């Protein structure tokens, strides 16, 4: 079945460090790929998405590229801020079915 594997956390970085959170997927066909972010005590917010191979999603300085050859959708940011501290979820969707989530990666940025 379809699945998403995320880098295990927690991840702790200093402010202005470079961030990578790895995400790989297993799926039959070509799903849409998403990164969602969850701040403490809140629901999930869509951070970015990509719907086909080689698409790059970007938002708030975060980027992720849909790599079909490596079945990956790694999240990157060049310079993180304390306000980026949250839990990040990678997910896939075939458009008319349920989202399949990764386990989430807790990110803490220290000043």
Return the number of the residue (21 or 104) whose C-beta is nearest other proteins.
Answer: 104
Binding footprint of other proteins on the chain (CB under 8 A): 32, 34, 36, 41-46, 49, 51, 89, 93, 95, 98-99, 101-104, 106
Q: Shortest gap between Cβ of 25 and other proteins (angstroms)?
A: 15
Q: Shortest gap between Cβ of 6 and other proteins (angstroms)?
A: 9
Return the number of the residue (79 or 83) whose C-beta is nearest other proteins.
Answer: 83
d(CA 71, CA 108): 27
DSSP assignment string, 20-62? EE-EEEE-SS--EEEEEEE-TTS-EEEEEEE-STT-EEEETTE
Q: Shortest gap between Cβ of 99 and other proteins (angstroms)?
A: 6
Return the number of the residue (48 or 109) whose C-beta is nearest other proteins.
Answer: 48
| Beta-bridge partners for 35 | 48, 90
Q: Which residue's entry shows tokens 């790989």?
A: 24
Contact 96, 29 (CB under 8 A): no
Return the number of the residue (4 or 80) whose C-beta is nearest other proteins.
Answer: 4
């Amino acid at each position: 079945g379809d699945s998403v594997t995320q880098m295990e956390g927690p991840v702790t970085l200093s402010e202005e460090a470079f961030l990578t959170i790895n995400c790989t997927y297993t799926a039959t066909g070509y799903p849409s790929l998403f990164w969602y972010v969850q701040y403490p005590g809140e629901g999930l917010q869509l951070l970015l998405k990509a719907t086909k191979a080689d698409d790059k999603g970007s938002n708030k300085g975060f980027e992720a590229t849909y790599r079909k050859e490596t079945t990956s959708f790694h999240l990157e940011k060049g310079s993180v801020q304390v306000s980026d501290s949250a839990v990040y979820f990678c997910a896939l969707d075939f458009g008319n079915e349920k989202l399949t989530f990764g386990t989430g990666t807790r990110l803490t940025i220290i000043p």
